[in-house]
Amino acid sequence: MRALFTFLFCFVAIFANAQNVIPLYAGLPPGGIASPDEETTDKYNSRALTSVPTLALYLPPKEKATGTAVLICPGGGYSSLVLQREGLNIAEYFQQQGIAAFVLKYRLPADKIMTDKSSGPLQDAQEAMKIIRTRAQQWNIDPKRVGIMGFSAGGHLASTAGTHFDRPVLPANAGLNLRPDFMILVYPVISMEKNLTHAGSRKRLLGDNPDELTVKYYSNDRQVTPQTPPTIIFHTGDDKVVDVDNALLFYQALRHQHVPAEMHIYPEGDHGFVLKLPVDVWMLTIMKWLGRSGMLNPDNPLLQGGTGQLY
């Protein structure tokens, strides 16, 4: 009983500033396997092996709403979720700027809770994108200005959502616009190539010995097309957890496909460097990029095709 009380206290504390937390699915997710709940939560993180995936809503007042929205994917190596510092803190900042923010508590890949662990997190991200666009009018959102943001392994999930939007992993999402209108990637895992990826993320998502086609499919630098959303990337040259070559390869792939992209590489700071900075210091760079890119402006020249059609 004491353990249950501690869990509930931490859960409430983490989501205290969210206006609402909603489940992604009614009941067990499609392809999900019922199993005992093993989620553990503290004031920063959540290990969500068997939890129900959710969206935490941070909606600005209607009079302040810009119409822009961001789906946030916290990192954690596909083994946990850094919910507070790579999710809720960021959402609060966006909300203060008039941007609707949604923190995705996606299911962590595990054979015991899903039939295809490699597509489980992407399924949750695509479902979240569908929910945001479906309820856009209710939440004062322009459905043509819905982006995605991800940190570390959450950056892999975000970049997967931004390069695989034309391949729905849920039949119910077929025909819907799952394309993010922009991407914000912070020290992201991009490649699943053995000599470049974050080994733990690759193992948890793809298993011990994925075949070459699967590795290529989830190496998102190899999945970029001219329809990939405009992107801003942050990384450090001395990152010892996720090699900066992940960011460099993705930027080059975007450039070669003529996708608008901006990259900020800092010489030092190691992995998680932005967590050591006040949120408003580095997030101001993102706000300026959104403004320059037209993402805060309904007359947006970069939103080719962001009209509700599937690409």
**258 belongs to a structural domain:** yes
Q: Is residue 304 part of a domain?
A: no
pLDDT tens, position by position, 142-165:
999 999 999 999 999 999 999 999
Residue 228 falls inside a structural domain:
yes
pLDDT in tens, 188-208: 999 999 999 999 999 999 999
Work out the mean pLDDT of the chain and round it to a whole number. 88
Tokens found for residue 247: 């960011």
Which tops the pLDDT comparison, 81 or 44?
81
Residue 127 — pLDDT band, cuts 50, 70, 90?
A: very high
What pLDDT does residue 15 have? 53
Which two structure tokens, joined as six digits, stand for 302? 């970069």
The CATH number of the domain where 82 resides is what? 3.40.50.1820
For 231-268, how does the pLDDT look when each residue is reduced to its tens digit (9 = 90+)? 999 999 999 999 999 999 999 999 999 999 999 999 99
Rounded-to-integer distance, Cα 44 and Cα 42, Å: 6
Q: Domain of 280?
A: 2-293
The C-alpha atoms of residue 49 and residue 29 are separated, in whole angstroms, by: 13
> For residues 283, 241, 110 and 147, what is the CA-based torsion angle, rounded to 10 degrees?
20
Distance CA(17)–CA(15), nearest Å, equals: 6
| Predicted confidence (pLDDT) at residue 305 exceeds the cutoff of 70 | no
Instruction: Count how many domains the chain has.
Output: 1
Q: Classify 181 as helix, strand or coil.
A: coil
Considering the domain boundaries, does residue 305 fall inside one?
no
Q: Give residues with Cβ within 8 angstroms of 128, minimum separation 6.
A: 24, 55, 71, 102, 104
E runs forming strands in the chain: 20-23, 40-41, 46-47, 54-58, 69-73, 100-105, 146-151, 183-186, 231-236, 261-266
Q: What is the mean pLDDT of the segment spanning 131-145? A: 97
Predicted confidence band of residue 38 (pLDDT cuts 50, 70, 90): confident
Interval 57-70: pLDDT, tens: 999 999 999 999 99
3-state DSSP call for residue 276?
Answer: helix
In a domain, 20, yes or no: yes
Within a domain: 262: yes
Residue 307 lies in a domain: no
Strand partners, 81: 46
Q: What is the pLDDT of residues 163-184, one digit of tens each?
A: 999 999 988 888 899 999 999 9
Q: Which two tokens stand for residue 200?
A: 């733990």
The answer to whether position 32 is within a domain reads yes
How sure is the predictor about 298, in pLDDT bands with cuts at 50, 70 and 90? Answer: low
- Greater confidence, 42 or 53? 53
- Rounded to 5 degrees, φ, ψ at 110 are -160, 135
Contact by Cβ (8 Å): 220, 160: yes
Task: Spell out the residues 6+ positions from residue 265 whose beta carbon is closer than 8 angstroms to its own.
Answer: 235, 236, 237, 244, 247, 248
Report the amino acid identity of residue 305. G
Contact 6, 42 (CB under 8 A): no
Q: 35 falls in which pLDDT band (50, 70, 90)? A: confident
pTM score of the predicted model? 0.89
pLDDT of 10 > 80? The answer is: no
Higher pLDDT, 275 or 8: 275
